[in-house]
Amino acid sequence: MTDRGQESAGIVTSNGASPPTYTTLKGMGLVNSAFQPEDLLKLRHGNLGIGHTRYSTTGISELQNCQPFVVDTLHGKIAVAHNGELVNAASLRKKVMRHGVGLSTSSDSELITQLLALTPPMEEKDTPDWVARIKNLMSETPTSYSLLVMYTDVIYAVRDPYGNRPLSIGRLVPISKLHTAGAGDGDTEGWVVSSESCSFQSIGARYYREVEPGEIVQISKHGVKTLSVVPRPEGDLPAFCIFEYVYFARPDSIFEGKMVYSVRQRCGRQLAVEAPTDADVVSTVPESATPAALGYAQQAGLPYVEVLCKNRYVGRTFIQPNTRLRQLGVAKKFGALTDNFAGKRVVLIDDSIVRGNTISPIIKLLKEAGATEVHIRVASPPIRFPCYMGINIPTKEELIANKPEFQDIAGYIGASSVRYLSVEGLVAAVQGGILTEKDQRIDSNRKPSWRVGHCTACLTGKYPVELEW
């Protein structure tokens, strides 16, 4: 998924034989620039495979850190793709090196690969026990990871016990039944796994379900099977990243039984209740804030109009690897739709203000184009703390909410006023539609996991696990 990573891309396929033949493609940049059509022809002999697009939170942006990683183990090659960031990566690096294993990259994802290659105590000498190896990995690091592990003709889909990063399963069906309710189990043509369910439709798949927190799922030609569910420590709640709902995920994805779009609309409605203002029109910083803006407009009884035209050929500024690239992205990203707001008071809804690089030039643009007032309403609370679990918010110092200027944030960014959604309001909007115990359909071989919890560490400083630093 290009919207989740733009630095590099990789694909590894297997022909499913024993031993298998793996084919690997890797390249820097977006998928369509990393791979040429003739490159993709090299993959045609594989009947299963895993892919990855990289958004670096640890490790430098170089080809050597591009995933999936492929290593030889005692029982043959494995390929591993990882989304997340290990909270205890430094101590794990030392532990792996004490076993005499050299590391060739700065990525914590290579650590995962090497830990899976280690033989766990419970494994018999000549028989690979991948459930034991995955459980051994999970005992070494509590979070944050969603994984795909490919071995011969099987793919294992794994989510850490806290469920911090998303992972969904889709079912390939005939195109004629993609948009109908008549596709039964007998119509299944294959299985796919993705960080977000929004990717399924474009490849002819239908959403099946999420991988549950702590679950180890085996995917093969025989179907999907839960092999184990590793529990969290007693009393700990799940800790799915709330920032996925705020910004990171595409609005047409489904998490925890809810569409992200609907959650963002609820955030907008709650924001209108908490932070009303006298204005003429409501608009948005496109596109991730659009559902929240519509919700705000509905709740406030104000018309929604578009005030910005987005250049769709510029990448997402938040996930650019440095500040200069982010600022250049903002300058090229928007144009003003003057006829919709000249001479009017505008409420501009944004999904988040992380560093403050994006919103200030947008306000200036709108005022110069004729807006009499620009009120900023943010559909999430101020981000005050770094994320150590897969989102690139590495230091407190670069967060606008921790700078002295935040005391007069409206003056600093040039807005008429600025108000944020409260933490309590965000949590209520997110958790309001989650399926309850009575609603959930739980397969007989899967442990129910209807307990609700989300990671709000970037907002509150309360991390779901103890950090080693």
Detail the residues annotated as belonging to a binding site for [4Fe-4S] cluster. 241, 387, 455, 458
* CA atoms of 285 and 301, how far apart (whole Å): 19
Find where tokens 């990671």 sit: 455
Question: How far, in Å, CA of 269 to CA of 302, rounded?
Answer: 12
- Cα–Cα distance for residue pair 321/61, rounded to 1 Å: 8
ω before 287 within 30° of 0 (cis)? Answer: yes
Binding residues for Mg(2+): 288, 350-351
Phi then psi for 240, rounded to 5 degrees?
Answer: -65, 135
* Sign of the alpha-carbon dihedral angle for 297, 303, 309, 312: positive
Angstrom distance (rounded) from CA 202 to CA 396: 38
Name the binding residues. Answer: 241, 288, 350-351, 387, 455, 458
What is residue 146's DSSP assignment? E
> Hey, what are 109's tokens?
């994802």
Distance CA(77)–CA(22), nearest Å, equals 8
Residue 417 in tokens: 């006023």
Which residues fall within 8 angstroms of residue 140, CB to CB, at 6 or more apart? 88, 92, 95, 115
Among left, alpha and beta (phi > 0; psi -120 to 50; other), residue 8 is beta
CA 301 to chain centre: 33
Task: Please enumerate in sequence order all residues whose Cβ is within 8 A of that of 98, keeping only pairs 6 or more positions apart, or say none.
Answer: none
| 59 phi and psi angles, rounded to 5 deg | 85, 145
Query: What span, in angstroms and rounded, lies between the C-alpha atoms of 222 and 119?
Result: 27
Distance between first and last Cα of the chain: 31
Q: In whole angstroms, give the CA distance from residue 266 to residue 94.
A: 45
Q: Which among 57, 65, 91 has a CA at the least distance from the CA of 10?
A: 65
Contact 52, 81 (CB under 8 A): yes
What's the longest Cα–Cα distance across the chain?
77
DSSP designation for 401: G
- Which backbone phi and psi does 133 adopt, to 5 degrees? -65, -40
